[in-house]
Structure 1
């Protein structure tokens, strides 16, 4: 039986926790959108939840690896690009979405609203792309 490749990496989870943890980036990375939104609105539940998450990241990583589909497009690369260059559409260019990448580049991530949308949907976008490439179907740009 072939083992599935890891989709999410613990060091990337800690990177996102460190640089954007009070905004819930690490929680969005692990597919926990509702608590990510809660962290975003409460500064990581007033920093206490942010500190507790330092101990919970390995478990969140295991859950994400079981939940999402591996493939050519790497979740960690997409998330790091979005965290540091999201308003310029770097993560969209990486996923082969050239049209929306250019749109993000010209509008600073649709004035930030597109990047917020991607916080909630990026794992699904990458998983969908990996499913399409695994089946050999052409992926629309």
Structure 2
């Protein structure tokens, strides 16, 4: 990562998502959907993994910053929109996906299934937009 480029996944934001980390929010944000699912179903590995992650967030942020490309669509803003307004498709409107944004708006994020899909793939979707 260049020192001139702002990080795609700042550690500070990771710490804010960590507050909800016992459900895996910070792991999804950093592009780790499999362990995010594990944290979701086990309460952050019975809170032990959640506490350990407090110390692992800087390395997870560095890894995500190397893996995902910066660009027109901001990862953090998209994740915040998805987290709080995702069932209404607001994050999809922001990414320029107007048709699916309208579908999400009218169907509650495709009845929640689309919301889950986006939780698992949002970083890759943003990366694809930023690379093209």
With normalisation by structure 2, the TM-score equals 0.93
Pairing 1:51–2:54 present: no
Pair 1:9-2:10 in alignment: yes
Aligned counterpart, 2:86: 86
Partner of 1:21: 21
Q: Distance in 2 between matches of 1:17 and 1:86?
A: 19
> How far did residue 55 of structure 1 move?
1.2
* Aligned counterparts of 2:60 and 2:32: Cα–Cα separation in 1: 9
Alignment gaps of 5+ in structure 2: none
TM-fit CA distance, 1:4: 4.2
Q: Moved runs in structure 1, 4+ residues, more than 2 A?
A: 1-5
Q: After superposition, what is the alpha-carbon deviation per residue over 1:76-116, rounded to whole angstroms, capped at 9, x for unaligned?
A: 00001111111111111110111111111111111111111
Q: TM-score, normalised by structure 1?
A: 0.87
CA RMSD of aligned residues (A): 1.4
What's 1:136 paired with?
none
Matches for 1:1-141 after TM superposition, within 5 Å: 3-18=4-19, 20-132=20-132
Gaps of 5+ in 1: 133-141
Deviations 1:54-80 (A, max 9, x none): 111111000000011111110000001
Aligned length: 131
